[in-house]
A and B are shown apart, each in its own frame.
Chain A
Amino acid sequence: NAGVMQNPRHLVRRRGQEARLRCSPMKGHSHVYWYRQLPEEGLKFMVYLQKENIIDESGMPKERFSAEFPKEGPSILRIQQVVRGDSAAYFCASSPRQTQETQYFGPGTRLLVL
Chain B
Amino acid sequence: AQSVAQPEDQVNVAEGNPLTVKCTYSVSGNPYLFWYVQYPNRGLQFLLKYITGDNLVKGSYGFEAEFNKSQTSFHLKKPSALVSDSALYFCAVSPNTGTASKLTFGTGTRLQVTL
Residues of A bordering B, CB below 8 Å:
4, 6, 31, 33, 35, 41-45, 48, 55-56, 58-59, 91, 93, 95, 97-108, 110
Residues of B bordering A, CB below 8 Å:
32, 34, 36, 41-46, 49, 51, 90, 94, 96-108
Given A41-B107, A100-B51, A91:B99 Cβ within 8 A:
no
B90→A43 contact, CB < 8 A: yes
CA distance A17 to B45 in the complex (A): 32
Q: How far is the CB of B106 from chain A (nearest CB, A)?
A: 6
Q: How far is the CB of B69 from chain A (nearest CB, A)?
A: 17
Q: List 10 A-B contacts (CB under 8 A).
A: A42-B105, A42-B108, A43-B90, A45-B103, A91-B43, A91-B44, A99-B98, A100-B97, A103-B34, A110-B41
Choice from B41, B44, B97, B98 contacting A105 with Cβ under 8 Å: B44
A99→B99 contact, CB < 8 A: yes
A100→B98 contact, CB < 8 A: yes
B49→A102 contact, CB < 8 A: yes
B108→A56 contact, CB < 8 A: no
Task: Tell me the number of A-to-B contacts counted with CB atoms below 8 Å.
Answer: 69
B108: chain A residues within 8 A (beta carbon) = 41-42
Return the chain A residue nearest B92 by Cβ. A43
Max chain A Cβ within 10 angstroms of own Cβ: one of B44, B51, B107, B108: B44
B46→A100 contact, CB < 8 A: no
CA distance A106 to B38 in the complex (A): 11
Given A42-B107, A45-B102, A48-B101, A102:B44 Cβ within 8 A:
no
In the complex, besides A48-B100, A98-B99, 17 extra interface pairs with C-beta distance below 8 angstroms are A6-B43, A42-B105, A43-B90, A43-B105, A44-B105, A45-B102, A48-B102, A56-B101, A58-B102, A91-B44, A99-B99, A99-B100, A100-B51, A100-B97, A100-B98, A103-B46, A104-B46
Given A100-B94, A108-B43, A42:B106 Cβ within 8 A:
yes
